[in-house]
Amino acid sequence: MSELLLASASPRRRELLAQLGVAFRIVPAEVTEHEAPDADPRHMVAHNAALKAEWVSARHPTATVLGADTTVFIDNVVLNKPRDPAEARAMLRQLSGRMHTVFTGLAVRRGEDGLKLDLGVASDVTFKPLDDVTIDRYLSLVHTLDKAGGYAIQEHAELIVAGFTGSLTNIIGLPLEETKQLLTRAGLTH
């Protein structure tokens, strides 16, 4: 059986993938992701996930490589990781009291046999109406600069999230059910 490599340095993806009980190693892809605010979010996350998986696969051709990319989409605009606290605050204001969609692209690559599997997942999240006091409190509790949309549903969601539909693990950054399906198709899980 080939070794599984996760082409991501994300601690959330590492924690989620560990829940599947399959051994893996982390090899972050050294790529520049496409992150245009006006991009089609489905195409953008699929492109970035494939870019990461292919970069690592080219260097480890016998391994099975999992790449993933997640973004937040509202008002026909992609919200990636905020550049600074002011941008995180602006993102939370934009999401306040509204529903948005979280898109994740998954890509599995294995160089030695040319395996290529791709899947996209979408979940909807509805935010509570947020005032400045709540936004300030949330930003004081959660490090948001490494999170698409400037928030983490797994950290103090009671302050900001009214509800969601779809995969919770997708919203966190790695949809486990779909990841397991791809790894099973790649021959790594049962």
Residue 37 within any structural domain of the chain? yes
Q: Region 171-185: what's the mean pLDDT?
A: 97
CA nearest 151: which of 81, 76, 69, 99?
81
Per-residue pLDDT, 190: 63
Give the model confidence (pLDDT) of 61-85 as tens digits.
999 999 999 999 999 999 999 999 9
Cα–Cα distances (Å) from 23 to 1, 4, 19, 145, 184, in that order, read: 11, 7, 10, 29, 14
Is residue 137, in this structure, part of any structural domain at all?
yes
Looking at 32-113, list the stretches that DSSP marks H as alpha helix, in order from N- to C-terminal side.
41-59, 85-95
Which pTM value belongs to this model?
A: 0.94
189 Cβ neighbours under 8 A, 6+ residues apart: 20, 22, 180, 183
Q: Give the structural domain span for 154.
A: 4-185
Residue 131 a catalytic site member: no
Q: Among 69, 118, 131, 146, which one carries the catalytic annotation?
A: 69
86 lies in a domain?
yes
CATH number at residue 42: 3.90.950.10
In a domain, 147, yes or no: yes
The answer as to whether 93 is a domain residue is: yes
How many folded domains does the chain comprise? 1
Mean confidence (pLDDT) of the chain: 96
Mean pLDDT of 26-42: 93
Residue 1 has what pLDDT? 73
pLDDT in tens, 134-153: 999 999 999 999 999 999 99
Q: Is residue 190 part of a domain?
A: no
For residues 66 and 44, what is the distance between their CA atoms, to the nearest angstrom?
Answer: 17
